[in-house]
Chain A
Amino acid sequence: MKKLTIIFAAFLLLASFKPEGLKVGDKAADFKLKNIDGKMVGLSDYKDSKGVILVFTCNHCPFAKKYEDRVIALDKKYKSLGFPVVAVNPNDVSEVPEDSYDNMQKRAKEKGFGFPYLVDETQATARTYGATRTPHVYVLQNVKGTYTVKYIGAIDDNSDDAKAVKEKYVESAVDALLAGKEVSTNSTKAIGCTIKWKKA
């Protein structure tokens, strides 16, 4: 009986540990998610790249909209240098119909996304990474097939005005990695829309 109680207590303790998500320095979790063209895309598709700029984003969020052109620009600038953008929409479509698969396809076409725009239908990828808002960026570095989280946070320090940006956090992080240096500011915060989690 006592043993059972201990096991039960241990179980409760374990259950109370919420997964906090990945931190800088952690091994990046692989995923396989459906792209807007119907194909499955994951980190294993980027074996030859130096890394990936993983962006949790969506259609509806005003902050994600403000950063849309900047995400496109990041991909344009860094894809050829070995750091392409991979965008993931984790939102519950029943909460925000604007973030549906159809609308993702539409938006990507309108804006001419040059990168995959994946749907995280089970929200498992967003949970594993610990993403909380859109946009939320993870810069992942690939060393011989192992991806490591090198930066987590905002794209830059001014969502409102791209011209008034003083610190381009993601660019600085990727530039440092390309130069073989450590990322100096490896974690930042920004206001954003909460990820719309499925109601249990």
Chain B
Amino acid sequence: MIKTAVILFSSLILFSGAKVGVVNMAQLHHRVNVSTDFIKDSKIGLSDKTNDTLYVVNFWATWCKPCVGEMPFFIKADERFRSQKVKVVFVSLNSVKEISQVDKFVAEKQVKQEVLLLNAGNPNVWIDQVDSSWSGAIPATVMYRKGQKTFFKEGEFTQNELDSIIKTKIN
């Protein structure tokens, strides 16, 4: 009886130890970077008026159902229009405490696009800086090209809507 308990107990330790090891590995390789300034960190470079890449920045969070729902459309658009200088950047509005959740999500969904976790302080300040018409609800999407904001939308996209907006912005 005692022997079984000891075996059970030690295997439990072994098991939890292995689990901790995996978590540590993941922490060493954060796929998602924390950013206080997504424009700077995704190299959108608003001062560069000659940069003709269209940056499509999607604000989302793992807890936001419609955001998660439209994510595949952005991934597909990124793949479809990459040769036409379109770059999709995902900006997560999860709390910094949730970074491992975001990491896990991004790994599971095999998101290859750049993912930043925004930690920009008081939302009442930075939401307006992104766009004055934004209430703060997500999903929301902003686009930049040649150092200028060329599009903003609060709300979700369909694949068709997203593709046709991108087409009008790169021509």
Contacts and interface: CB of A to CB of B under 8 A. Distances in A.
A154 interface: yes
A157 B155 contact: no
Given A192-B136, A194-B137, 10 more contacts: A62-B61, A154-B124, A157-B122, A167-B124, A189-B135, A190-B136, A191-B61, A191-B93, A191-B136, A194-B66
A188 interface: yes
A132 interface: yes
B38 to A, nearest CB: 14
A37 interface: no
A116 interface: no
Contacts of A188: 124
Contacts, number: 62
A150 interface: no
A177 interface: no
Interface in B150-169: 154-155
B46 interface: no
5 contacts: A133-B137, A153-B124, A160-B95, A191-B136, A194-B64
B79 interface: no
Nearest to A152: B135
A74 interface: no
Contacts of A189: 123-124, 127-128, 134-136
Interface of A: 61-62, 95-96, 132-133, 153-154, 157-160, 166-167, 169, 188-195
A158 B121 CA distance: 8
Given A132-B137, A133-B136, A191 B122 contact: no
Nearest to A187: B124
Nearest to B130: A189
- Most chain A CB atoms below 10 A, which of B136, B154, B155: B136
A191 B138 contact: yes
B136 A193 contact: no
- Most chain B CB atoms below 10 A, which of A167, A188, A195: A188
A190 B96 CA distance: 16
Interface string B140-151: 000000000000
A62 B155 CA distance: 18
B18 to A, nearest CB: 30
Interface string B26-49: 000000000000000000000000
Contact of A132 (B66, B124, B128, B135): B135
A154 B128 CA distance: 14
Given A154-B123, A189-B124, A191-B93, A133 B135 contact: yes
A193 B124 contact: no
Closest 8 CB pairs of A and B: A133-B137, A194-B137, A189-B127, A132-B135, A188-B124, A62-B63, A157-B122, A189-B136
A190 B124 contact: yes
